[in-house]
Amino acid sequence: MNGAILRMVGVSQQYGVGELAVSALSGIDLEVMPGELVAVMGASGSGKSTLLSIAGGLQTPTVGEVVIDGEHLSTAKPDQLAALRRRSVGFVFQDYNLVPTLTAIENVTLPLELDGVSRRTVRRAGRDALQLVGLADRGDTYPDDLSGGQQQRVAIARAIVGGRRLILADEPTGALDSVTGEQIMKTIRSRIDAGAAGILVTHEARHAAWADRIVQLRDGRIIDESSRDKADAILAAR
C-alpha cells in the first residue's frame, strides 16, 4: 500500500486475437495519489478513452492490474465491481450524461440511492455536493433548465457525492465555451485539492495544464510524462 487512490500496473488491452489483434493499450503503469490530477493527452485513437474505461472498472484489461482504494479489480465479482464503481469512482463526460427526467439533486444522489443509502443521508450528501460545485440553490432544477456549464457542475457533484474520491473526466470541457470550460476546470481542481484524485482526458493543453502531471499517449503507450514534482513535494510534506 502506498496511499494511491488508483494504481494501474502493466495494463494492456488488446482487441481481437492472433494476427488480427489490435493493441489499444500497452504496458501502462499509472498511479494517482490523493490531491493529484493527472492529465492524459494524445491524438484520437491513442488509447485515452480505453485507459479511462479500464481505470474506472468499466472494462477489464487483457493483461495487468487495476487497484482502486486498495481493492483489486481483477479479483472482484461483477456485483462487487459495480458497487466499487458506485462508491469510489465518479465519471464526468463531455455531454454531461444527466437523466433529463430527474432534478439536479436527484441526478447527483442517484448512485447513493442505488446503493441503498438512507433517504435522509442521501438528501444531505446531495445538498453538500451541489454546494461544493456552487449550485446549492439549483437542486430542484431539471437539466434542461440549466446552462451547459451548470449541467457539467451537476455531473461533477454526482462524481464526488458521498465521499467518492476518484474523478475520471473524459473531455469535460469539450462542449463548453472557453470561459465556462475554465470554470469547470477550476471546480475540478478545487475538488482535487480537497483530497480527491483524478484523471483528465483532454486534447487541449490549456486544460491539461490544470493537472499536476501530464501524460502523453501514442498508439496505446505512454511516450512522455511530465515530472511529478508537485506530487512528490506533497508526499514529502506528509
Partner 1 sequence: MSVRQSLLAILDQGACYGYQLRAEFDRRTGSTWPLNVGQIYNTLERLERDGFVAKGDVDEQGHVYWEITDQGRAEVRAWLDSPVERTQGTRDELAIKLAVAATLPGVDVADVIHRQRRASLGQLQELNRAKYAGPDPDGPEELAWSLVVDSMIFAAEAEVRWLDHTEQRLALHPRHALQLELSTERPKRGRPAKVRS
> Smaller CB distance to partner 1: residue 194 or 223?
223
Task: Give, to the nearest 10 degrees, the angle between helix 119-132 and helix 148-160.
Answer: 130
* Closer Cβ to partner 1, 124 or 206, answer by number: 206
The CB-of-119 to partner 1 minimum distance in angstroms stands at: 37
Considering the complex, state which of residue 91 and residue 210 has its C-beta at the smaller distance from partner 1.
210
Phi and psi, residue 86, nearest 5°: -65, -35
Euclidean distance between CA atoms 58 and 229, whole angstroms: 30
Looking at the Cβ atoms of 44 and 118, the one nearer to partner 1 is 44
Nearer to partner 1, 136 or 209 (CB): 209
- In the complex, least distance from residue 36 CB atom to partner 1, rounded to whole angstroms: 13
Which grid coordinates belong to 16? 481481437
CB 167 to partner 1: min, Å:
17
Q: Which residues bind partner 1 (CB under 8 A)?
A: 43, 185-186, 189, 204-206, 208-211, 214, 216, 223-224, 226-227
Residue 24: DSSP 8-state:
E
The CB-of-206 to partner 1 minimum distance in angstroms stands at 4
CB 198 within 8 A of CB 166: yes
At its nearest, how many Å lie between partner 1 and the CB of residue 224?
5
DSSP of 135-197: -GGGTT--GGGS-HHHHHHHHHHHHHGGG--EEEEESTTTTS-HHHHHHHHHHHHHHHHTT-E
Nearer to partner 1 among residue 63 and residue 223 (C-beta)? 223
CB 99 within 8 A of CB 110: yes
Residue 209: CB minimum distance to partner 1, A: 4
Q: Which residues contact 97 (CB under 8 A, 6 or more apart)?
A: 91, 155
| Cell numbers 456552487: residue | 134
